[in-house]
Chains A and B, each alone.
Chain A
Amino acid sequence: DIQMTQSPSSVSASVGDRVTITCRASQGISSWLAWYQQKPGKAPRLLIQAASTSQSGVPSRFSGSGSGTDFTLSISSLQPEDFATYYCQQGNSFPFTFGGGTKVEIK
């Protein structure tokens, strides 16, 4: 199985801050990577697929980059509604696997 490692596991930030989350794959996955946002008690929401393609309706402050084994999700100016847990997921090969999550908390 491909292991997905996210860092940090949590981050405290203020509204307006730039936040960057990293996801590393245990082997190359090309650009077959997605990012999800999950708020407490809710299902995850797909933000970005194919490493850098934003879903319709996702604010432009969210961006993804990377290929191979190293990927990042950036939030350019954190808004109150962005406080949530973020997960990466590899879609390169079965079984699909997720990172352990990064919780973005209010500072």
Chain B
Amino acid sequence: QVQLQESGPGLVKPSETLSLTCTVSGDSISSYFWSWIRQPPGKGLEWIGYISYSGGTNYNPSLKSRVTLSVDTSKSQVSLRLSSVTAADTAVYYCAGVVERRYFDSWGQGTLVTVSS
């Protein structure tokens, strides 16, 4: 069973770049596609984008101009960068393993990122 662990700063200043890493263990990173999903406090889920083990990506158009996903197979890590953040980007950020290239069957525990000066 694959395990996912998100890590990164819990506080980011407005206009700066949010950077998170998801470390994959228990299975090969090349076995899955990987997604990032976020959830503002008390609200619903928003899909950010996904990346294949070979680096192919697909992003949510609402975030596309600010998002970059990358994968480092040597470190078994998937990374998220979100630039020019505002308070609206405050959320719990989850990484998730994608099955059938469309469903999220394994999740990290999530990490809360607060955007504030």
Residues on A facing B (Cβ under 8 Å): 1, 32, 34, 36, 42-46, 49-50, 55, 87, 89, 91-92, 94-101
A89 touching B103 by the CB < 8 A rule?
A: yes
* Interface hits, B42-75 → A, CB 8 Å: 44-47, 58-62
A43 touching B110 by the CB < 8 A rule?
A: yes
Q: How many A-B residue pairs have CB under 8 A?
A: 58
Instruction: Tell me how far the C-beta of A73 lies from the nearest C-beta in chain B, rounded to whole angstroms.
Output: 14
CA gap between A98 and B108 in the complex, in Å: 18
Residues in B neighbouring A92, C-beta threshold 8 A: 102
Given contacts A43-B108, A46-B104, contact A95 B47 (CB under 8 A): yes
Residues in B neighbouring A1, C-beta threshold 8 A: 61
- Contact of B34 with A by CB under 8 A: no
Given contacts A32-B102, A43-B94, A49-B100, contact A98 B107 (CB under 8 A): no
Given contacts A43-B94, A43-B109, A43-B110, contact A91 B103 (CB under 8 A): yes
What does DSSP make chain A's interface, helix, strand, loop or mixed? loop
Given contacts A94-B58, A95-B61, contact A49 B108 (CB under 8 A): no
CA gap between A60 and B100 in the complex, in Å: 22
CA gap between A36 and B44 in the complex, in Å: 12
> Which 5 residue pairs are nearest across A and B when measured between Cβ atoms?
A91-B102, A43-B107, A95-B60, A98-B45, A96-B47
